[in-house]
Amino acid sequence: MNNMWNERYAQEEYVYGKEPNEFFSQELIKHKAGKILLPAEGEGRNAVYAAKLGWKVYAFDSSSEAIKKTKKLVSENKVEITYNLFSFEDVDYPNDFFDVIGLFYAHTLLREDNHKKLIRFLKPEGTVILEGFSKEQINNNTGGPRKVEMLFSKEELQSDFIELSELKIWKEESHLNEGEHHQGKSAVIRLIGKK
């Protein structure tokens, strides 16, 4: 999979744009700045946004090309982030370390294992903010995996994040405008939960 992402991110243009995910930007401002983890962060748009708001940002991705693009964006915006070349399987942080974990279109075949692993890194009272494609997105041609098992259902996310309290999960039809690969009417699912 890394090769596919390296190929996608190798182009000069930022394939999902330079602006943060809209849902992320709306939710993050509700929290006092602290430490945030952004898994599968791609070209750094959400990481840079959080850093500009004063967050201590940690991010990872399995694509070396994504990290190159992020370094460029970080430099343009004169911020600092800690960005590592990790897969979900390799990633490790201290338990109870992050105030917020933000997952945006981080679709993997090992969804359940990856989500449960990330919860360990979240502080008590910490928050997970997630947006991804719901299973209904398989009928749209506006982005996302073409394997239905990589798309999210409400029931799967409830099971993955069962440890969280105040768990809210809802589906929406959203008009995405995030670069060439997330463009148009899309079936999304959103989650907010507290540890």
pLDDT for 71-80, tens place per residue? 999 999 999 9
Residue labelled with tokens 């990330």: 118
DSSP state of 164: -
Whole-number pLDDT of residue 11: 83
Q: Listing from the earlier edge strand, what are the strands of the sheet with 182-194?
A: 82-85, 56-61, 35-39, 98-104, 122-133, 182-194, 165-178
pLDDT at 181: 64
pLDDT of 171 reads 96
The strand ranges marked E within 77-142 are 82-85, 98-104, 122-133
* C-beta neighbour count of 10 within 10 angstroms: 14
Cβ atoms of 109 and 86 within 8 Å: the answer is no
Q: Which CATH number do you get for residue 79? A: 3.40.50.150
Residue-level pLDDT at 184: 66
Range of the domain at 139: 2-194
Low-confidence ranges of the chain (pLDDT < 50): 1
What is the number of domains present in the chain?
Answer: 1
Question: What pLDDT is attached to residue 93?
Answer: 97
